[in-house]
Amino acid sequence: MDLNLSEEHEAVQFAARDFAQNELLAGVIERDNEQKFDRSLIKKMGDLGFLSMMVKPEYGGGGMDTLSYVIAMEEISKVDASAGVIMSVNNSLVCWGIQAYGSEEQKEKYLTQLSSGDTIGAFCLSEPEAGSDATSQQTTAEDKGDYYLLNGTKNWITNGNSSGICLVIAQTHPEKGHKGINVLIVEKGAPGFTIGKKEDKMGIRASDTYTLMFTDVKVPKENRIGEDGFGFKFAMTVLNGGRIGIAAQALGIAAGAFELSLKYAQERKTFGKPISDHQAIQFKLAEMATRIEAARLLVYKAARLKDEGKDYIQAAAMAKLFASDIAMWVTTEAVQIHGGYGYVKEYHVERMMRDAKITQIYEGTSEIQKLVIARELLK
């Protein structure tokens, strides 16, 4: 595998790093405290192409490859993991899903909006009783001829309040089990579509996470993606790609915490010398750097396999499993290196530790990733 980045990839890396350092960094602590993401920053992300990196140019996207996307995700998540997850959901789950499986009319209508940052998307799969067991959908989409009647509740929805377009997974034919599930495009403001409570989260606090409720929402048949009963396969397919994005987010969190720790260790002095001169700190930094590099290689491999049209299910699961564990471990060590300063918000690493935890949970828990990997190994 070629480990060298092309000039195009280096340009993407530079642009994402510049945006993160010059636009995201200044207000990141305030956004975390207030649990609110500045809408103008979402628009800037759209203007710079970060919300539609893999969308074809004819629909307003950048037409880039998956590797470009994960490179940008890492740089942005180094500074603000909340911005990273907004970007990930819009790119990996919503835009990619519509582009891969939507009708031409759906692509023309929705991808341009999602690409520009005028609106963002939400992916509505999880329910009060359907987390890891995605087959147990209680939200129903009753076939009424030329429309579906949507009823149910979706939990823990990223971009739940700020999104304008939702992909909702719902059961139409209960007797068929997971083969009776559909995916519907539901626009914000539809009668019967209400926003429920906002979750008060441990991490990624600037990213809005809400409960969404649907009560007799009429969804036109033309808003169904794919054939009748395609919804579960759609969800599992986009989640496979989404795991690459979350792996890149986890990688970014780890790399950001490491960079801060390296800088701090060279500046902070104890016993008359920088703490980086102490072997205990050197060993921590060495192991952090090594594990991060291993995670990066796994993420890049998964991205390249996807770009080459090869089977990337196992690689994506491995990348997410390993990178999320590394994010949790590195950020914990980063707090330790910073000592008492690591425990206060001003030094950022405590936020990164809080942000890291969710990468082991959403878009498939670490335990689910192990099941996926084992299933692929035993084929």
Q: At what angle do helices 39-47 and 81-88 cross, to 10 degrees?
A: 60
**How many other CB atoms sit within 10 Å of the CB of residue 199?**
18
pLDDT in tens, the chain (379 residues): 677 899 999 999 999 999 999 999 999 999 999 999 999 999 999 999 999 999 999 999 999 999 999 999 999 999 999 999 999 999 999 999 999 999 999 999 999 999 999 999 999 999 988 777 878 899 999 999 999 999 999 999 999 999 999 999 999 999 999 999 999 999 999 999 999 999 999 999 999 999 999 999 999 999 999 999 999 999 999 999 999 999 999 999 999 999 999 999 999 999 999 999 999 999 999 999 999 999 999 999 999 999 999 999 999 999 999 999 999 999 999 999 999 999 999 999 999 999 999 999 999 999 999 999 999 999 9
Instruction: State the catalytic residues.
Output: 363
Cα 331 to the center of its chain, rounded Å: 19
Q: What local confidence, expressed as pLDDT, does residue 3 receive?
A: 72
Instruction: Determine contact, residues 91/66, Cβ cutoff 8 Å.
Output: no
pLDDT for the residue numbered 1 = 66
Amino acid found at 293? E
Domains located in the chain, CATH noted = 7-120 (1.10.540.10), 122-229 (2.40.110.10), 233-377 (1.20.140.10)
| Contact predicate 122/157, CB 8 Å | yes
Q: What pLDDT, on a 0 to 100 scale, did the predictor assign at position 133?
A: 81
Q: SS3 breakdown of the chain: % helix, strand, coil, rounded to 5?
A: 60, 15, 25
Q: What angle do CA 132, 134, 136 make, to 5 degrees?
A: 115
Q: What residues contact 319, with CB distance under 8 A and at least 6 apart?
A: 243, 244, 247, 295, 298, 299, 301, 302
pLDDT at 131: 77
Nearest residue to 264 (alpha-carbon basis) of 354, 323, 333, 357: 333
Q: Residue 60: left if φ>0, alpha if ψ -120 to 50, beta else—which one? A: left
When computed from its CA atoms, the radius of gyration of the chain, rounded to whole angstroms, is 21
- Give the separation between CA 33 and CA 321, rounded to whole angstroms: 29
38 within 8 A of 27, measured Cβ to Cβ: yes
Residue 170 CA to residue 137 CA, distance in Å, equals 6
pTM beyond 0.85: yes
For position 4, what pLDDT does the model report?
83
